[in-house]
Amino acid sequence: MAGTNNAELNRDGTLPPGPVVVLVDPQMGENIGAAARAMLNCGLQDLRLVRPRDGWPNARAQAMSSGALDRMPEVRVYETTADAVADCHFVAATTARPREQVKEVHTPRTIVPVLSERIAAGNRVAILFGAERTGLENDDIALSRAVITVPLNPGFSSLNLAQAVLTVSYEWRMQCVGVCPAELHRGDSLPVPHHLLEEFLCRLEGELDTHHFFRTPEMRPAMVRNIRNMFTRADLTDQEVRTLHGIVTALTGGKKSKSGY
Amino acid sequence: MAGTNNAELNRDGTLPPGPVVVLVDPQMGENIGAAARAMLNCGLQDLRLVRPRDGWPNARAQAMSSGALDRMPEVRVYETTADAVADCHFVAATTARPREQVKEVHTPRTIVPVLSERIAAGNRVAILFGAERTGLENDDIALSRAVITVPLNPGFSSLNLAQAVLTVSYEWRMQCVGVCPAELHRGDSLPVPHHLLEEFLCRLEGELDTHHFFRTPEMRPAMVRNIRNMFTRADLTDQEVRTLHGIVTALTGGKKSKSGY
């Protein structure tokens, strides 16, 4: 695929380092294209093919890549797996089944720190993926330093080739972006300062008193607590509190709060 | 899809609980089938569709699912997103773009403990995925309690629908299987006891002395250390040490070791 290397993925314009992805004996162009898309989604760009069944370039791969192949460096094609990884210092093989070979067995999650350490040390690392139905040959596994197995549902563990590429690429990406804790997205809105929330709650409680919401004085404290909990838990913004004031104003017949809401 | 619920994914024969996956306005049957396959790969089985463009059942979905649709409970089809999640207690929306709505924003990795806690508490949880090109509508996001965003390459962040389903399903699965540390797979072979490794190394060093491998006595200690390091690092099995003895025997013209290797 005569793609041009025009991707600018790092802010400084350099290509991000990352594992090389090697597809050995891939059959369907669609899977090659989908794998390329998944790679670039995750910032990986060095795709190599060993004996692609339908030759290369491949129009179906191109279509399924959704533009990824045009934005990645040119895909390289090799006659043997050994040729494809000739310049690599560490090779890992993805396989669903443990084989009768003595190897470190990783998940996509545990291999990433290993790859990362290697890359930081200046090594080039490669991950092998086998053919759609048959997986990697034992000889390909033998030339690998480690095996990667995705711990899938044992009752239905056959993963699509591009999906397999995604699991490793995704783990790589997650490690690159670091720990992303959950956050509250507020757009341009600010969280409300407590005094404005308090002002609203007091107003609401006053209106509820006025409208005889609390059946008995004994029930009032617990009910007020429940109402306050509800609005506090919602972690409101300034704008949302203004909206709530507007709702109270509307429901009470247009009588604005003392603050003019 | 008139699938039969014949999957036996838990050892006790029960279905594993897990998030419901809701595809809203999915266009291509292929993506629905690939999503189903990714779900079942990860042990998820409750797939719901809102207004699938090409109707349901769908032959292309069936083909792309590689048998997953036949092994999952029947896929249910709904007219609206609200209908699809009517029985759910917690809904999360996947979207690539932060929207102008105040929401908790999660990655697939951070949402899983939230879903897990909900499920443990007896809640049913659902994850919404939007149409291939356009994603979810704002109204679908508004009915969700949280947003899930995969932190992809900002220069190429458009993820295939089935790949998006895989990221969340995979994280669910990884959490279900727990921490899987890297391990060394040895098949039936045992790691070699140290004394057998030592015996081999002494034999090798003796043969190297005999064959004048060490040019000077001064160099010998450092070279021996290097050789020992190399073989020790390989974390050999019994069988591999026997093989190495065989190699030495062969290379030295058939002279077996004292131990008879």
Q: Find residues 170-209 of chain A whose CB sits inside 8 Å of chain B.
A: 170, 173-174, 177, 180-189
CA distance B27 to chain A (A): 15
Both tokens of B175, joined, read 């959490």
CA distances from A255 to A20, A212, A258, B82, B192 (A): 67, 17, 9, 35, 86
Q: List the pLDDT tens digit at each of the 261 positions of chain A.
A: 333 333 334 444 444 589 999 999 999 999 999 999 999 999 999 999 999 999 999 999 999 999 999 999 999 999 999 999 999 888 999 997 666 677 788 999 999 999 999 898 888 999 999 999 899 988 898 888 889 999 999 899 999 999 999 999 999 999 888 755 666 666 666 778 878 888 999 999 998 898 888 888 998 888 888 888 878 877 788 888 888 888 888 888 777 776 777
DSSP B176: H
Q: Give pLDDT tens digits for B25-73.
A: 999 999 999 999 999 999 999 999 999 999 999 999 999 999 999 999 9
The answer to whether domain A6-177 has CATH 3.40.1280.10 is yes
Neighbouring CB atoms inside 10 A of A83's CB total 13
Residue A152: its chain B contacts at CB < 8 A?
41-43, 173
Q: Is A103 on the interface with B (CB under 8 A)?
A: yes
Residue B9: its chain A contacts at CB < 8 A?
153, 155-156
Q: Is A237 on the interface with B (CB under 8 A)?
A: yes
- E-strand stretches of chain B: 20-24, 47-50, 76-78, 90-94, 103-106, 125-129, 146-148, 183-185
Q: Give dist(CA A91, CA B189) in Å, integer.
A: 23
Contact B108, B165 (CB under 8 A): no
Q: Give pLDDT tens digits for B94-110.
A: 997 666 677 788 999 99
pTM: 0.80
Contact A162, A35 (CB under 8 A): yes
DSSP states of B24-89 as a string? Answer: ES---HHHHHHHHHHHHHTT---EEEES-TT-SS-HHHHHHTTTHHHHSPPPEEESSHHHHTTT-S
Report the alpha-carbon angle B158-B164-B166, nearest 5: 145
Q: Is A143 on the interface with B (CB under 8 A)?
A: no
- SS3 letters across chain A: CCCCCCCCCCCCCCCCCCCEEEEECCCCHHHHHHHHHHHHHCCCCCEEEECCCCCCCCHHHHHHCCCHHHHCCCCEEECCHHHHCCCCCEEEEECCCCCCCCEEEECHHHHHHHHHHHHHCCCCEEEEECECCCECCHHHHHCCCEEECCCCCCCCCCCCHHHHHHHHHHHHHHHHHCCCCCEEECCCCCECCHHHHHHHHHHHHHHHHHCCCCCCCCCHHHHHHHHHHHHHHCCCEHHHHHHHHHHHHHHCCCCCCCCCC
* pLDDT of amino acid A29: 97
Give the chain A residue whose CA is nearest to the CA of B110: A182
- Please state the domain extents for chain B: 6-177, 194-251
Question: What is the complex's ipTM, to 2 decimals?
Answer: 0.79
Residue whose pair of structure tokens reads 């070791």 in the numeric block: B257
Q: List the pLDDT tens digit at each of the 261 positions of chain B.
A: 333 333 334 444 444 589 999 999 999 999 999 999 999 999 999 999 999 999 999 999 999 999 999 999 999 999 999 999 999 888 999 997 666 677 788 999 999 999 999 898 888 999 999 999 899 998 898 888 889 999 999 899 999 999 999 999 999 999 888 755 666 666 666 778 888 888 999 999 998 898 888 888 998 888 888 888 888 877 788 888 888 988 888 888 777 776 777
Q: Is A162 on the interface with B (CB under 8 A)?
A: yes
In total, chain B counts a number of residues equal to 261
Neighbouring CB atoms inside 10 A of B67's CB total 15
